Chains A and B, each alone.
Chain A
Amino acid sequence: MTAARVINCPNCGGSIALKAAGYSISVACQYCGSELDVANPDVLLITEYHRAAAASDLPLGARGTVKGIEREVVGWLQRSDGEARWSEYLLFNPYAGYCWLIHADGEWSLGTMLTAEPVALGEETVEHEGECFHREYDPVPTRTDAVVGEFYWRVRAGDTVEATVYSDGNASLSWERSADEVNWTLLEPLPSCGAVPAAFVAGQAPRGPSGPPGGPPQFGRKQGSVPRASSVPATDLTPVARRSDAGDLSAMLGMAVATCFLIALVAMMFGAGGRPVSQGLTIYTGQPAQTATLATLTLNRPYQAVTVTARGDAFVNKWVDLDYRLVDRRTQRSIDAYGLMEYYAGRDSDGPWTEGSHQRVTKFAAVPAGTYDLMVEASAQNWSNPSVTSYGWGSASGATGESESVALRFEVKPGGVFLGNILLFVLLTFAPITIWIVRRVHAAAGGYRS
C-alpha cells in the first residue's frame, strides 16, 4: 500500500513498521506498549511500559476493503467511559486517508471524521447533511485505556476527553472535546458482526524483539490464529444503508394511509345496520309541538348507533325543532337527542342568498341492545324578517303568528357511521408525521437555532 518505515522500539527493541510514515505523530509499540514520538527523526521514548499488549480483534497490519477502498489497520485504542469499554481501530490508506472501525457491544461501525461541524439546532439537536441527530446522553469523561500502533496525533494511555453521541435512529455522530479541540465523527453501522473480522486478514507481520520472523503475536492473538494472506480479501465492507428521513417519511405515510383505510373499513362494518323504517308527519308553524312514534327498533348487538334522517318539504324561512326520545320498552329509560332543521332565503345588497338545509341527520351513540320506541316531538316556527338577521336564544324570536304546514318524513335506521370519529382518528394518525415535518421545516429555517 505504501512504503513502510521501520523503526526499532527504544525500549524493547521490537521492530515497528510505520504504515503511515510521514502522517503518524506517535506510535505505541505493539510489543511493550511504550509510547514513541515518531515525528522526531530520532525516535523518542515518550513513556516506557513493560506490559503485554491488550487483546484485540484486528491485528496491526490487517487489511480489508471498506467502501471499496483497501485500508490497513495502523492503530488501536481501547477506551472506556466508566460504564462501557470498546475498541477503536484506526484504518489508513495513503490516498483516502484515515477512518475508524469501532467495535462496541458486539456491533461494528465505521467512523468517518467530519471536516465540517454539524449545525446546532438546539441544546441537544444537530443537523448533518439534512439529517437531525439528537443527543443520547450528557457528555461523560471518556478515557483511553490502551494504545497500540501509530496515530496522527499524540495519544497516550490515560488521555481523557468529554464525549457524547448524537443519533438519528440509525447513524450516529460522536462528539469529543479535549482541552484544545472538538472532534465530530460520523458512525455508520456495518453489517453483521462476524463480517468485519472476516473481511480483515493479517498483513505482513513485523519482527518482534526476539524470536523468529513473524514475531510475537499481535494484539494478543495466538500466533497463526489469523490467516496471513498477501492479497486483500474480496469482501467489501459497506455501511448498512442509512435509512434517510425521506425513506422513513414514505414508510410512515404508507402506514398512515393503510391505518386510515382500515379505520374507515372497520367503521363501515360496525356501522352497518338493519332495514330503515320510514314515517311521515305534518306539523304547523306556531302550533304546540306534535308528538309521534316514528318506529320500534330491536337492537341485537351489545351496543349500536341509531340514525334518524328527517327531511322537510320545500319550506323557506322556517325552522323545525326535533326532540327525539328513544325509550327502552323493558326499562322505560330514554335516550334523548335533538335536531334542528332550518332553511332561510332572502335578498340583500349582495344579491339572493340561502342558508340551511331541508334535511337533518341525528345520531344516537352507544345504544345498548333491546327494543326501543323512537318518539319525536316536533315544532315549527316561521322566521319573520328575511331582510334582517335575527337571533333567538331558546325562543322563537322573530316568528310570525301565521300558521303554515311543514311536511316531514323520517327515516330511522339501526346503525350509523360517525364521520367525526373517522376524521378524529385520521387526524391523530397523521399528527406525528405533521409534527415531525413542521419541526423539520422549522429547523431547516433555523427556528431552533440557538
Chain B
Amino acid sequence: MSPRVFLFGLWCLLLLLASAAANYYAWSPFADGSRRSGATIYGPTHK
C-alpha cells in the first residue's frame, strides 16, 4: 500500500468517524431549526 493510499484511508476513516459523531448528536448544518421567519422572498422566482 503506497503512502498516499494509506493517507487516503486515514482520511476516509476520519470522515466516517465524523459522520458517526454527527449522526449520534443528530447534528446538521442543514437543519431548519432556529431559522426565523421574516426574511423570505415570496412569489415565483423563476422569471
B15 to A391, Cβ gap below 8 A?
A: no
Q: Give A234 to B26 CA distance when docked, in angstroms.
A: 63
B33: which of A365, A389, A390 is its contact (CB, 8 Å)? A365
A418 to B31, Cβ gap below 8 A?
A: yes
Given A337-B32, A363-B32; A392-B42 close (CB under 8 Å)? yes
Within 8 Å CB of B47, what residues of A?
348, 389
A364 to B2, Cβ gap below 8 A?
A: no
Give, as a whole number of angstroms, the nearest-CB distance from B40 to chain A.
6
Within 8 Å CB of B2, what residues of A?
169-170, 243, 248
Residues A410-450 near B (CB distance < 8 A): 416, 418-421, 424-425, 428-429, 432-433
Q: How many A-B residue pairs have CB under 8 A?
A: 159
Per-residue contact bits, chain A 243-276, to B (CB 8 Å; 1 contact, 0 not): 1000010011001101100110011011100000
Give, as a whole number of angstroms, the nearest-CB distance from B36 to chain A.
6
Within 8 Å CB of A12, what residues of B?
none
Say yes or no for A321: interface residue by CB 8 A criterion. Answer: yes
Interface size on A, residues (CB 8 A): 67
Within 8 Å CB of A263, what residues of B?
15-16, 19
Per-residue contact bits, chain B 3-17, to A (CB 8 Å; 1 contact, 0 not): 111001101100110
A389: which of B15, B30, B44 is its contact (CB, 8 Å)? B44
Q: Give A386 to B5 CA distance when docked, in angstroms.
A: 56
Q: Give A48 to B25 CA distance when docked, in angstroms.
A: 78
Most chain A beta-carbon neighbours within 10 Å: one of B3, B12, B25, B44: B44
B5: which of A248, A266, A342, A363 is its contact (CB, 8 Å)? A248
Q: Give A327 to B19 CA distance when docked, in angstroms.
A: 28
Other A-B pairs beyond A256-B12, A362-B32, A391-B42, 8, CB < 8 Å = A243-B5, A267-B19, A301-B26, A340-B40, A363-B31, A386-B44, A390-B43, A397-B42
B26 to A266, Cβ gap below 8 A?
A: no
Closest partner residue, chain B, to A299 (CB atom): B26
Interface size on B, residues (CB 8 A): 40
A366: which of B4, B26, B30, B46 is its contact (CB, 8 Å)? B26
Give, as a whole number of angstroms, the nearest-CB distance from B35 to chain A.
4
Q: Give A304 to B41 CA distance when docked, in angstroms.
A: 30
A418 to B30, Cβ gap below 8 A?
A: yes
Give, as a whole number of angstroms, the nearest-CB distance from B18 to chain A.
7
Within 8 Å CB of B40, what residues of A?
321, 340, 393-394
Within 8 Å CB of A302, what residues of B?
24-25
Give, as a whole number of angstroms, the nearest-CB distance from A213 to chain B.
50
B30 to A323, Cβ gap below 8 A?
A: no
Q: Give A175 to B19 CA distance when docked, in angstroms.
A: 44
Q: List 8 A-B contacts (CB under 8 A).
A: A259-B15, A259-B16, A267-B23, A340-B40, A383-B42, A383-B44, A389-B43, A398-B43
A336 to B24, Cβ gap below 8 A?
A: no
B28 to A363, Cβ gap below 8 A?
A: yes
Give, as a whole number of angstroms, the nearest-CB distance from A392 to chain B.
4
Q: Give A185 to B45 CA distance when docked, in angstroms.
A: 63
Residue numbers of A with Cβ under 8 A of B are 169-170, 243, 248, 251-252, 255-256, 258-259, 262-263, 266-267, 269-271, 301-305, 319, 321, 323, 335-340, 342, 344, 346, 348, 353, 355-356, 362-367, 381, 383, 386, 389-394, 396-398, 416, 418-421, 424-425, 428-429, 432-433
B33 to A398, Cβ gap below 8 A?
A: no
Within 8 Å CB of A342, what residues of B?
42
Closest 6 CB pairs of A and B: A420-B30, A365-B31, A270-B23, A418-B28, A259-B12, A394-B38
Within 8 Å CB of A319, what residues of B?
42-43
B35 to A338, Cβ gap below 8 A?
A: yes
Within 8 Å CB of B33, what residues of A?
335-337, 363-367
Given A303-B26, A363-B28, A428-B15; A336-B35 close (CB under 8 Å)? yes
B15 to A429, Cβ gap below 8 A?
A: yes
Give, as a whole number of angstroms, the nearest-CB distance from A214 to chain B.
46
Give, as a whole number of angstroms, the nearest-CB distance from B37 to chain A.
5
Q: Give A190 to B23 CA distance when docked, in angstroms.
A: 46
B26 to A367, Cβ gap below 8 A?
A: yes
Closest partner residue, chain A, to B6 (CB atom): A169
A252 to B5, Cβ gap below 8 A?
A: yes
Closest partner residue, chain A, to B42 (CB atom): A392
Within 8 Å CB of B1, what residues of A?
251
Closest partner residue, chain A, to B29 (CB atom): A420
Given A338-B35, A338-B37, A432-B8; A355-B25 close (CB under 8 Å)? no
